[in-house]
Amino acid sequence: MAATEARNTPWSEGDVGDQVGRVAVVTGANTGIGYHTAAVLAYRGAHVVLAVRNLDKGNAALSRIVAAGGHGARKVDVTLQALDLSSLDSVRYAADALRAAYPRIDLLINNAGVMWTPKQLTADGFEMQFGTNHLGHFALTGLLLDRMLGVGGSRVVTVSSLGHRLRAAIHFDDLQWERRYDRVGAYGQSKLANLLFTYELQRRLAARPEAKTIAVAAHPGGSNTELTRHLPAIVRPAAVVLGPVLFQTAAMGALPTLRAATDPTVEGGQYYGPRGFAEQRGHPKLVRSSAQSHDEKLQRRLWAVSEELTGVRFPV
């Protein structure tokens, strides 16, 4: 059961506690929400792994984080890991490298994603949004989870979206959108899948008393990031005009993820998003996801299909 909000002041970056000694893996950390999430964790003392597809952009992000944090007495500890979530071979390679480097992982932040892409397939033949946003993270989590289960306070944080309500359903009869592609519907399916995965993972973790890991979800509201680069041409002019009203900064958009990852009051299975009107912007608070996302039968069915498609079995 989700706890109610009891704070009189909004939760902010300053509420992120000391992260010294913690290892955090952040996917898609070279830009946007992921970059700001990784930067704050690094500045609070965590060893942060930027798990990114584009190594040039990843190195640039690493340099910016180190340069901005270099004025303090504490050394900023950031490394880079190649990870292309649209390739299960890349996911397995990255997981092997991370397992070899880190006997323990405190935070896995499944942040990377694509939105409203033209019809594309991943290296494994999955629809790009479903394959990247859900299946890639599902596989990565399953391959790393045994490095987390015994770590007190460890968390799997998966970033969903308000889009999980928009024309969203899990199309089991056509998961890869082979019959008729709808980029908005495909994005909604992938973001709904993020939540179904989080809630099913939390139920499995809770059923294993010795597991010290919890699964949590977050969404950034409307945030000004590169994720909007595939907006249909017809709506781009409106986005330019209304952007300052509808979209908050990426730094603000990262706050729900940071709260889900670091707030000591967070419980497994909770979902955090902006507190403002329609959850579009503002400081983070507990929010509710759609009724569909809490359908346990749907969660279990998606889990089984995801295991089959990725070939990854979880240790819970």
Q: Which residues belong to the active site?
A: 187
Q: How many other C-beta atoms are found inside a 10 Å radius of the C-beta of residue 79? A: 14
- Gap between the Cα atoms of 1 and 70, Å rounded: 41
Contacts of 7 (CB under 8 A, 6+ apart): none
- Gap between the Cα atoms of 145 and 107, Å rounded: 10
Angle CA(173)–CA(179)–CA(180) in degrees, nearest 5? 115
- Gap between the Cα atoms of 287 and 270, Å rounded: 8
- Gap between the Cα atoms of 15 and 38, Å rounded: 15
What values do phi and psi take at 278, rounded to 5?
A: 55, 20
